[in-house]
Copies of this chain bind each other. A is one copy, B any other.
Amino acid sequence: MKADSVHDFASIIRGRRHELGLTQAALADRAGVSRKWVHELEGGKPTAELGLVVRTLHALGLELDVRDPTSVPGDRQSVDLDEVLRRHGADG
């Protein structure tokens, strides 16, 4: 599940929480954060601390991955650095 923005995190987390039948309070408890924070995260708060997000994801049984979208299996191993920089540099 691609999480390109903080809003993606928001929906993923909220969805997963519902899947597991957890309340915000229950999730907050499991993740060791406050209910208010869970509420804000599910609202797409961009300033949420990385560590807390990771903990919350784990509390939901989810895992975080970092991928290189340009490394297509069977295509090639390395990347066009210029290409990458070009695409992400100015305006994508």
- A1-40 contacts to B, CB under 8 A, are 1-6, 8-9, 12, 16, 19-21, 30
Q: In the bound complex, what is the Cα–Cα distance between A30 and B87 (angstroms)?
A: 12
Distance to closest chain B CB from A6 (angstroms) = 5
* CB neighbours of A85 from chain B (8 A): 20, 30, 61
* CB neighbours of A63 from chain B (8 A): 2, 4, 66-69
Contact with B along A55-84 (1 / 0, CB 8 A): 001111111111111100000000101001
**Assembly stoichiometry (copies):** 2
Q: Are B61 and A68 in contact (CB under 8 A)?
A: yes
Q: In the bound complex, what is the Cα–Cα distance between A57 and B84 (angstroms)?
A: 12
| A43 interface residue (CB < 8 Å to B) | no
Q: In the bound complex, what is the Cα–Cα distance between A53 and B21 (angstroms)?
A: 29
User: Which interface residue of A4, A51, A79 has the most chain B CB atoms within 10 A?
Assistant: A51
